[in-house]
Structure 1
Amino acid sequence: MRAARFHAKEDVRIEEVEEPSPGPGQVKLRNAFAGICGSDLHVYYAPEASGLDLTKPHPVTGAMPPQILGHEFSGTVVEVGEGVDRVAVGDDVAVWPVYGCGTCAACRRGMFNACRTIAFHGLNAHGGGMAEYTTVDAAKLHKLPEGVDLRLGALVEPMSVAWHAVAHANVQAGGSALVAGAGPIGIGVWFALRAQGVERVLVSEPSADRRAIIEALGATTVDPVNDDLASAVADLTDGDGVDAAFDAAGVGPSITSGLANLTPGGRLVVVALHERTMDFLPTQLVMSETEIVGVLGYTQDDFDAVIQAMSEGRYDTTGWVQEVDLDDVVDAIRSLRGGNGAKVLVRSGAAA
């Protein structure tokens, strides 16, 4: 079968590899779509900085390059291994791709998304979604109901990142929010907020192209560089400040502006990864009893919640999701690195 395999920095190849067979407790999937994630870009351009050790097997999965990519993916069950009864041949599924060690402090608390040696199927575990087929533990599968197609199914993973962030924001239905960044996760935060009854949402994004994309979905936006962000927040909240702010941009000003525009008792949720340190004055937190919380990944419950919201028609892919063939993966990675587009889904050879 054909697969996109990461070998080393800036070295991803479309190659013929052996088609897998499911073991006990596993299923074989005919992959449909796999999203290109910011993590894939980090791995492609700076694997060591991303915490990926290319010289030895991963401590949880035993995998090492060459590695099939694709941890945001959907597919159809084509074969089940011994002991599998929760899914059947023909089921369309999304895959929760997390592997935890089971023994670290996070895993002992049930926080497998924050495992100290976490691995992901399609990043640093055997197999992945950017191939015609893969095998995966049946316990990681989430069936897609009628009305949620395989294209939406491949978006369950990144939308669950955003859902997890909103779940930690302590914002109630009828509340207000500021989202910094209109990339895929920022778009996902906007969808999740609205699905949970938060209608007063302002999206802060300096890119005119990205503002246009999310505005077409119905969002209210502001250019934080050329417009007055504080005035826009005041207009949205009658001067009170937002109940929750989200950093989905990964830059210092997203933190400082988010804190500055919170209502007393509000919470800033950091969902983006930052590459640079920053300074801020903790007195801001003290004087208004505001909070900062970091979030990582998602839980299986987040997957279920996103799939349910998708089945209710709360997600729309118009204008921000593009598709490419497996042969175009590298070109798509380079284009995304250049700031073009929002979300790219790769059609596997089996889905094309």
Structure 2
Amino acid sequence: MRAARFHGKEDVRIEDVADPTPGPGQVLLRNAFAGICGSDLHVYFAPEASGLDFAHPHPLTGSMPPQILGHEFSGTVEALGEGVEGVAVGDRVAVWPIYACGECAACRRGKPNVCTRIGFHGLTSDGGGMAERTVVDASKVHVLPESVSLELGALVEPMAVAWHAVEQSGIAAGGTALVAGAGPIGIGTWFALKAHGVERVLVSEPSAERRAIIEALGAQTVDPVAGDLAAAVAALTDGDGVDAAFDAAGAAPAILTAIPQLTPGGRLVIVAMHERPVELAPVSLLMTETAIVGTLAYTQADFDGVIAAMAQGVYDTTGWVEHAGLDDVVASFARLRGGAGAKILVAA
């Protein structure tokens, strides 16, 4: 079968590899779509800053490059390994791609998404979604309702990142929020806030193209460079400031401009990965009892929440999701790195 394999920095090749076979407790999937994620871009362009160790075997999976990419993906079950129950051949599924040890402090506290030895199918594993087929544990698949397409199924993973961030923010229905960044995770955060009953949301985005994309979905936006972010927040909140702000941009200005927009006791949630440190004056947090919380990935419950919201019609792919083939993966990485487009799904 054909697969997109990461060999090293700026080195992804489309290669022929052996078809996988499901073992006990596993399912074989015919992959449908795999999304290109910001994490994929970090791995491709700056693996040393990705937070992943590609120089040694992964402690849970034993994987090392070359690595098949694709950790946000959907597919159809083609075969079942011994002992699999609750999943049938022909089921359309999204895949929760996390590998967790089950033993560390995080796992013991029900937080496998921050396992100290965390791995991801399609980043640090034997297989991934950017291939014709892959094998995963049956416990990782989430069967999609009839009303949820395989295209939406491939978006469950990135939308679950945003869903988890909203859960971590503690924001209540009827609250107010600022989202910095209108890329896929920013768009997902806006959808997740809507699903949680938060309607007064302002999206801060300097790119006119990305503002137009999320405005077409119904969002209120502001250009934080040419516009007046503080005035827009004041108008949204009657001068109180937002209850929660979300850094979905991965740039220092997103954090530094968001903090002053929070109401006293508000919370800033860091969703995006940063390749560079951010210099912050602690007094800006102290004087207003502002909290900053990091958020990583998602739980199985976040996947369930997103899929249920998709089934209810909350999510809309119009204008921000496009498709590409396996042969277009490297070119798609370059386009996204350059700021063009929003979400690209690779058809396996």
- Give the paired residue count: 348
What is the SS of the residue equivalent to 1:74? Answer: strand
Partner Cα distance (1:134, 1:180) in 2: 35
8 Å Cα contact 2:29/2:135 also seen in 1: yes
Instruction: Give yes or no for the alignment of 1:339 onto 2:339.
Output: yes
Residue 54 of structure 1 pairs with residue 60 of structure 2: no
Structure 1 residue 171: Cα displacement: 1.1
Once the two structures are superposed, the pairs formed by residues 153-302 of structure 1 within 5 Å of their partners are 153-302=153-302
Structure 1: distance between partners of 2:323 and 2:170: 35
Identify the residue that residue 85 of structure 2 maps to in structure 1.
85
Q: Give per-residue Cα distances to partners, 1:165-220, cap 9 Å, x unaligned.
A: 00011111111100000010000000000111100000000011110110010000
Matched residue of 1:129: which SS?
A: coil
Using the TM superposition, give the Cα deviation of residue 109 of structure 1 relative to its aligned residue in structure 2, in angstroms.
Answer: 1.5
After superposition, what is the alpha-carbon deviation per residue over 1:29-83, rounded to whole angstroms, capped at 9, x for unaligned? 0000000011111111122322343333111101111111100000000100111
C-alpha distance in structure 2 between counterparts of 1:170 and 1:135, whole Å: 36
For residue 34 of structure 1, give the secondary structure of its aligned residue in structure 2.
strand
Find the residue that maps to 1:155 and give its secondary structure.
helix
Aligned mates of 1:19, 1:346 — CA distance in 2: 19
Alignment-derived partner of residue 96 in structure 2: 96
Give the Cα–Cα distance (whole angstroms) in 2 for the partners of residues 148 and 23 of structure 1: 28
How far, CA to CA, are the matches of 1:278 and 1:23 in structure 2?
Answer: 45
TM-score by length of 1: 0.97
Q: Show the counterpart of 1:130.
A: 130
- Give the letter for the 1:307 counterpart: I
The reply on whether 1:144 has 2:123 as its aligned counterpart is no
In structure 2, how many angstroms separate the alpha carbons of the residues matched to 1:150 and 1:290? 40
* CA distance in structure 1 between the partners assigned to 2:34 and 2:77 by the alignment: 15
Q: Any idea what the Cα deviations from partners look like across 1:244-270, whole Å, max 9, x if unmatched?
A: 111111122211221101112211111
What is the CA–CA distance in structure 2 between the aligned matches of 1:100 and 1:170, rounded to whole Å? 25
Secondary structure of 2:129's counterpart equals coil
Distance apart, 1:332 and its partner CA: 0.5
More deviation, 210-219/268-277? 268-277
What letter is aligned with 2:22?
P
The DSSP-based 3-state class of the residue aligned with 2:298 is coil
Matched, 1:22 2:22: yes
Deviation sequence 1:89-146 (CA, Å, 0-9, x none) = 0100000000012222212212111112211001110110011111100000001001
Q: Does 1:33 align with 2:26?
A: no
Q: Which runs of 5+ in 1 are unaligned?
A: none
Q: Distance in 2 between matches of 1:74 and 1:332?
A: 19
Identity of aligned residues (%): 72
| Runs of 5+ consecutive residues of structure 2 not aligned to the other structure | none
Q: Which TM-score applies when normalising by structure 2? A: 0.98
Separation in 2 of the partners of 1:166 and 1:127? 30
Aligned to 2:324: 324
Give the partner amino acid of 2:322. Q
Deviation string 1:142-163 (CA, Å, 9 cap, x unpaired) is 0100110100000000000000
| Aligned-partner Cα distance in 1 for 2:278–2:44 | 26
Once residues 152 and 74 of structure 2 are traced to their aligned partners in structure 1, the CA distance between those partners, rounded to angstroms, is 8
Bigger mean CA deviation after superposition, 153-162 or 163-172: 163-172
- Mapped partners of 1:267, 1:46: distance in 2: 30
CA contact (8 A) 2:49 2:275 kept: no
Give RMSD over aligned pairs. 1.0
By how many angstroms is 1:285 displaced?
2.2
Read off the aligned partner of 2:209 and give its amino acid letter. Answer: D
Give the distance between the partners of 2:10 and 2:258, measured in 1 at CA: 35
Distance 1:138 1:251 in 2: 37
Runs of 4+ in 1 over 3 A off after TM superposition: 51-55
Q: Distance in 2 between matches of 1:181 and 1:57?
A: 34
